[in-house]
Structure 1
Amino acid sequence: MTTDATKQHLADTFHAALTHRDWDRLRAVLSEDVTWTLPGDNVISGTATGPDGVVERAELIASYGLTFTLEHVLMSRDNMALALHNTAAREDAVLDEHLATVCRIADGRIASIETYLSDVPGMNRFFVPLPAA
């Protein structure tokens, strides 16, 4: 059984890493075989594999200027989820979605992540390839 303190630590670390764009901090809580699956049909959809793939996915999401507001940490017996409200805007699109990022924990690390979204069509409209800077 994963302790509540471990689940809370992992949730806090995951959220802080996204918020502060601290990719080493995120990498420190991921298992070597971690996966992250997101729905939709856009540049962040699908499954990222391994710490490098998950960190690359997080960097890409953050590069769109999101604000990651943590609403709740939800705990099961062995795992946890983050209830988030993500927002962002640019000239041609607005993102305003509620989501649950569900994390399976193994050996004190995040072993898999699956994100559930309130507005997959809105996510598809927002996460399009951006023009080169």
Structure 2
Amino acid sequence: MSTNTADPAIAERFLAAFKDRDWQALRDLFADEITWSMPGAGTISGTIRGADLAVERARQIADRGVRTELLHVLIGAHGAALSLRNTATAPDGRKLDEHLATVLTIRSGRITAIDSYLSDIDGMSAFFAAV
């Protein structure tokens, strides 16, 4: 593999760990100092730091019943951008239906940053509002 291309297997392992709810596998992919930024005003919004908090955010997303559909994986020199569609329906009827780009920064085989870009920030904020 070229030295100016990130390893796509890391992005694939990230998606598989999230889909399988394998929190230890996800934690193993994260650098200890990982940051994860999420826009909006929902309970999962803001920037967090640290692998344990990143796993907790992934759990919070999964616990709300979010189904993630992979549309595309784009590989760059320093990471991968995942084009995704998230859908879910809350018990009270609130719906989530958004497209997003999840950008993984990868260094030395570990994910050091996740930046999420959303098509419907208000919808995500409403779906992940404090209950």
On whether the aligned pair clears a TM of 0.5, the verdict is: yes
Flag structure 1 segments of 5+ consecutive residues without an equivalent: none
Q: Which moved more, 1:10-19 or 1:97-106?
A: 10-19
1:67-86 to 2 correspondences below 5 Å: 67-86=67-86
1:20-35 to 2 correspondences below 5 Å: 20-35=20-35
The answer to whether residue 100 in structure 2 is matched with residue 93 in structure 1 is no
TM-score by length of 2: 0.92
Distance 1:2 1:110 in 2: 16
Deviations 1:45-70 (Å, cap 9, x if unpaired)? Answer: 01121110100110011110000111
What code does the residue aligned with 2:21 have?
R
Give the ranges of 4+ consecutive aligned residues of structure 1 lying more than 3 Å apart after TM superposition.
Answer: 1-4
Deviations 1:43-96 (Å, cap 9, x if unpaired)? Answer: 000112111010011001111000011111111122111111000012320000
* Root mean square deviation of aligned Cα: 1.2
Contact 1:83 1:99 in 2 (8 A): yes
Q: Give the number of equivalent residue pairs.
A: 128
Contact 1:68 1:84 in 2 (8 A): yes
What code does the residue aligned with 1:44 have?
I
Distance 2:40 2:5 in 1: 33
* Residue identity (%): 45
Contact 1:18 1:68 in 2 (8 A): no
Distance 2:128 2:11 in 1: 24
Distance 1:104 1:77 in 2: 9
- Correspondence for 1:104: 105
- Correspondence for 2:116: 115
Find the residue that maps to 1:74 and give its secondary structure: strand
Distance 1:104 1:59 in 2: 20
Distance 2:43 2:111 in 1: 23
